[in-house]
Structure 1
Amino acid sequence: EEYEISSKSLGYDPYFIPVLDQKYTSEALAPILQQGPSTLAITGIIITSQRSVTTLSQTVPVLSSEQCQAWQGIPLYIVGETTTSKVEQALDQRLFFLPHKSRPSITTTDHASQLADHLVQQQRQDIPQHLLFLAGDKRREELPTRVREAGYRLTEIQTYETCRHPDLAQQLIHQHPSSSGDDWSIFFSPSGVDHILSLQPPPSSVWLTSTKIAAIGNTTATHLQSLGYQVHAIATKPSISHLLDAIVDYDRN
């Protein structure tokens, strides 16, 4: 809804096509949370996606109040302001943000590479740290690789699996860009690009060849470029306002 309101206010007529669907998997996460950070010597949690927050939220009901309290004060390392906002909203008074308790330390960066920089800089070689890394099945290698190379112990838990939305092909068949070349195709993840291109026969090619292309961030833009597509606008931060700023800036110039 926020995308629709913001884009319409700038004179665009958005149409949303769900490309990806998610399967949330809490089976591996629940036992970790039930054991607690002290038992496992966990000193922080890395969260890189809102989907991992959904899995966390779904796991809370299986925890006792004592188990929830055990995680109070654990530092959180998060990619994206939107993900941080969801953590604070979805887990308020449930996990990490319990009533009458001090708020946890939260480090938020715009990109995974920036979070890796932060963790590498703060690592103390004389005190090995153990981080819990909540990730999806499509996560990139840079963050976990650099964190391990810096001396951290990393326990990675897959919290969700990304798959193609069952209605994707039909949605693309029924929508066509205008012949003027003024339309935009906006992509939000490398996996979304791959799922669109995997359709056979490919009803999606027209959206990649007959429109201007925008990407939510550098990772998605780089993936599109590696496939031979020109990216006309890239959000400097993964947010609605920054994405629309990039699109408007291109159209005006």
Structure 2
Amino acid sequence: MTRVILFRKPVVSKENPVDSYEKAFKEAGHWVCSIALLEHELLLTEADVLALLNSFESQTPAPTPETFLVDSETSVYQPFSSWILTSANAVSSLEKAVAQLFSRLKNTAKLHRDNYENNSTKSSSIKHKSDIDYAWFVDRLTRFLELQVFIVGPATCKKFTEKFSALYKLYCHTPPQFSTTSADNADMLVVLILDYAKQTNSNSFLHLCSNISLKTIPNALNSNHTSLQSKIAYKTIKRNDSDLLRQLETLNVHCKSSITDSIALRQFDHDTKLLTVEQSIRPIWACFFSPSGVDTIKQFTPNLKWWTQDTVNLAAIGKTTADQLLLHYSNHMVVAEHPTPEALLKAIQPECDDMQN
């Protein structure tokens, strides 16, 4: 049994109670342990979303209700015509703020409609201001979600469309006609963004990002004279060092047992007529999912008894993460062709099979 450590926080939901990466490796017969290296604080607020809906360029802009005129300098966006998502956490941050607005505006509109219907002196045909506010919000949000959006990773793209489709259905609205373009990594996505900008004469993009996002996309767009404004949608926070070290040290037990699970290489010496047995340690696979994850773990590995060049193989979810690993480690490494559970398993599995043969 091969031991696989996933340096990421398991992602579960009511619909998917088992993390997709853990599920893939367990079904393949591997022992799996997920270790979260980072925490994320979602930062987008209702005011941020309303400012965003006031700012994007539209062919047929709708008048903004006075309620939604945002004048806070911290929430003002420059006009943009397309936008960029580079993380599932950015999707979560946006979805959370939008869901709060949906709930509040829908409930307010319903409350005022009920009051009108119960008041005999008012005509039930009169629309209360809250109805106008809610209608504007849904219309403007739909227009925004139907803008061209560029996304890093098929999983993030899937989460984006599924989350917002579900939200619209929850409030009895037809989901938007999403226009998404995705790529496996930022380097590949930049090519698609610049090609789109050239073909459509678009030169204004919005990037919902992290406080420690890489500069791959901003630098590339800036070099090509394309305007990009970045909005920090979530904050990445490192875990407490002592807590993380304690969890890493518990893996000593599993590393030692890997010798028990190792392959016995039996060789018959024809001269001595003796059968010799050599134990071959089955390496542990340490899987990384972001450059920041590599930076977090590198400070601990020199003090981990189970982490050596012989006992640990490395796996990276993509090229950017692999490049960061190469800066700090010389362990054997594989790179997934795509940022998916299936691709990561495919990168590791052949070498696991070789150990069994």
User: TM-score scaled by structure 2?
Assistant: 0.64
Cα displacement string for residues 154-197 of structure 1 (whole angstroms, at most 9, x for unaligned residues): 11011112122233222112112235242111111111121122
Cα displacement string for residues 124-169 of structure 1 (whole angstroms, at most 9, x for unaligned residues): 3894421110111222212111122223211101111212223322
Aligned to 1:78: 151
More moved, 43-52 vs 157-166:
157-166
More moved, 180-189 vs 122-131:
122-131
Rounded Cα–Cα distance in structure 2 between residues aligned with 1:91 and 1:204: 43
Residue number among 35, 51, 62 corresponding to 2:89 in the alignment: 51
Cα displacement string for residues 85-141 of structure 1 (whole angstroms, at most 9, x for unaligned residues): 11012222547xx93365021111111111100111222389442111011122221
CA shift at 1:207, angstroms? 3.2
Aligned to 1:156: 230
List gaps (5 residues or longer) in structure 2: 1-17, 62-77, 106-133, 260-280
Per the alignment, do residues 198 and 228 of structure 1 end up closer, same or farther by CA in structure 2, a change over 3 Å counting? closer
Rounded Cα–Cα distance in structure 1 between residues aligned with 2:167 and 2:203: 25
Rounded Cα–Cα distance in structure 2 between residues aligned with 1:32 and 1:198: 41
2:137 matches 1:67: yes
Rounded Cα–Cα distance in structure 1 between residues aligned with 2:166 and 2:237: 32
Counterpart of 1:107, as a letter, is T
List gaps (5 residues or longer) in structure 1: none
Rounded Cα–Cα distance in structure 1 between residues aligned with 2:303 and 2:137: 49
Give the number of equivalent residue pairs: 251
Residue number among 32, 35, 39 corresponding to 2:51 in the alignment: 32
Cα displacement string for residues 45-77 of structure 1 (whole angstroms, at most 9, x for unaligned residues): 100100000110121123654234224221111
CA shift at 1:24, angstroms? 1.6
Aligned to 2:342: 241
Counterparts of residues 159-238 of structure 1 (less than 5 Å): 159-166=233-240, 167-176=243-252, 177-178=255-256, 179=259, 180-199=281-300, 203-204=303-304, 206-207=306-307, 209=309, 210-238=311-339
Aligned to 1:13: 31
Counterpart of 2:313, as a letter, is K
Per the alignment, do residues 207 and 69 of structure 1 end up closer, same or farther by CA in structure 2, a change over 3 Å counting? farther
Q: Percent identity?
A: 24
SS in 2 for 1:26: coil
Aligned to 1:120: 194
SS in 2 for 1:207: coil
Rounded Cα–Cα distance in structure 2 between residues aligned with 1:68 and 1:150: 35
Aligned to 1:111: 185
8 Å Cα contact 2:40-2:236 kept in structure 1:
yes
Rounded Cα–Cα distance in structure 1 between residues aligned with 2:138 and 2:187: 30
Per the alignment, do residues 132 and 67 of structure 1 end up closer, same or farther by CA in structure 2, a change over 3 Å counting? farther
8 Å Cα contact 2:161-2:178 kept in structure 1:
no
- Runs (4+) of structure 1 exceeding 4 A deviation are 201-205
Counterpart of 2:36, as a letter, is P
Rounded Cα–Cα distance in structure 2 between residues aligned with 1:183 and 1:26: 39
Per the alignment, do residues 204 and 215 of structure 1 end up closer, same or farther by CA in structure 2, a change over 3 Å counting? farther
SS in 1 for 2:156: helix
8 Å Cα contact 1:81-1:108 kept in structure 2:
yes
CA shift at 1:251, angstroms? 2.9
2:176 matches 1:91: no
